[in-house]
């Protein structure tokens, strides 16, 4: 009799430990996941899957694979790496409990992540250092990388990049030959034919204040500018933050070595 009672308690405790916490799932989703998948699982863009009404077991399996890296996606790998097993169970149960998203529906960006404190650096051609160039064969682009004096000085002395640092990238379409292949110059880089847009990242005190920890890059913000120097509409800063997030040891900067080595 006593034994049977103990067993019942053991079962009840196990069941309780496994029950997902929908409120905790909702809290996590509304702060972080909503930036891309929408608060109720209807995503913000065509490149991001809806999660509403998806099966919880499937969602858990995907999040585990994204966390351990067996499923690869730089943005989701960075986010899933920060989720505990409990978080995973909670967010999966929360999305599974949402009504399926109507066809064609789209959620809005989160306002705290859509806004950016990065402004167009008017004088960058005279004041920044051009420190790097990369060919992008898949998109037939060539990109020129610039860093401002604060960033260059810190990188050269091996310090993390301080407030006031800024990196700025010109994205150009490459000149194409008759077969549609990019033409290379004598330096081995594609010949730039047409400026398409600019990307930028800047660090200033307070810029990270409204960004949830799972996405925050200390006090860095990101932006994309059109060729007429305006913020490009439709940019989801959450994607920039997520992909640069794992680089906390190098000031969230992929090309830190090139900045340090610049002339």
Q: Where on the chain is the footprint of ligand HEC (CB under 6 A)? A: 28, 32-33, 35-37, 47-49, 51, 59, 62-63, 73-76, 79, 83, 91, 134, 143, 145, 167, 169, 199-201, 222-224, 235, 238-240, 242-244, 253-255
CB burial string 5-14: b at 16+ within 10 A, e below: eeeeeeeeee
Q: Please give the sequence-ordered ranges of beta strands (E in DSSP) within the chain, or none if there are none.
A: 129-136, 141-147, 166-174, 192-203, 220-225
- Contact between residue 48 and residue 37 where contact means Cβ atoms under 8 Å apart: yes
CB of 24 to ligand HEC, least distance (A): 12
Q: In terms of CB distance, is 52 or 223 closer to ligand HEC? A: 223
CB of 141 to ligand HEC, least distance (A): 10
Structure tokens belonging to residue 108: 């809005």
CB of 159 to ligand HEC, least distance (A): 16
- Contact between residue 175 and residue 182 where contact means Cβ atoms under 8 Å apart: yes
Q: In terms of CB distance, is 207 or 224 closer to ligand HEC? A: 224
Q: In terms of CB distance, is 207 or 242 closer to ligand HEC? A: 242
Q: Which residue has the tokens 């034994």?
A: 3
Q: In terms of CB distance, is 177 or 261 closer to ligand HEC? A: 261
Report the alpha-carbon distance of residue 102 to residue 92 in Å, rounded: 19
CB of 243 to ligand HEC, least distance (A): 3
- Provide CB contacts within 8 A for 168, sequence distance 6+: 121, 124, 128, 145, 146, 147, 148, 198, 199, 200
Q: How many CB atoms lie within 10 A of CB 177?
A: 10
Q: In terms of CB distance, is 3 or 23 closer to ligand HEC? A: 23
CB of 152 to ligand HEC, least distance (A): 12
CB of 64 to ligand HEC, least distance (A): 10
- In terms of Cα–Cα distance, which of 251, 263, 252 is closest to 158? 251
Q: In terms of CB distance, is 2 or 263 closer to ligand HEC? A: 263
């Amino acid at each position: 009799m006593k034994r049977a009672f103990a067993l019942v308690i053991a079962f009840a405790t196990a069941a309780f430990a496994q029950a997902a916490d929908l409120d905790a799932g909702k809290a996590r989703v509304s702060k972080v996941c909503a930036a891309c998948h929408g608060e109720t699982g209807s995503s913000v863009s065509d490149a991001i899957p809806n999660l509403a009404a998806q099966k919880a077991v499937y969602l858990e399996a995907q999040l585990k694979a994204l966390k351990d890296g067996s499923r690869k996606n730089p943005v989701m790998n960075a986010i899933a790496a920060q989720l505990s097993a409990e978080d995973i169970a909670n967010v999966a149960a929360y999305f599974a409990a949402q009504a399926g998203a109507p066809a064609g529906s789209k959620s809005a960006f989160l306002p705290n992540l859509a806004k950016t404190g990065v402004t167009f650096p008017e004088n960058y051609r005279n004041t920044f250092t051009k420190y790097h160039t990369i060919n992008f064969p898949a998109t037939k682009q060539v990109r020129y990388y610039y860093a401002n004096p604060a960033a260059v000085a810190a990188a050269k002395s091996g310090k993390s990049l301080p407030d006031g640092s800024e990196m700025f990238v010109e994205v150009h379409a490459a000149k194409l030959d008759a077969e549609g292949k990019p033409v290379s110059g004598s330096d081995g880089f594609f010949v730039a034919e047409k400026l398409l847009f600019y990307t930028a990242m800047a660090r200033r005190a307070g810029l990270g204040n409204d960004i949830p920890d799972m996405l925050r890059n200390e006090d860095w913000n990101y932006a994309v500018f059109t060729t007429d120097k305006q913020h490009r509409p439709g940019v989801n800063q959450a994607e920039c933050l997520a992909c640069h997030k794992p680089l906390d040891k190098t000031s969230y900067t992929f090309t830190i070595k090139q900045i340090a080595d610049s002339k």
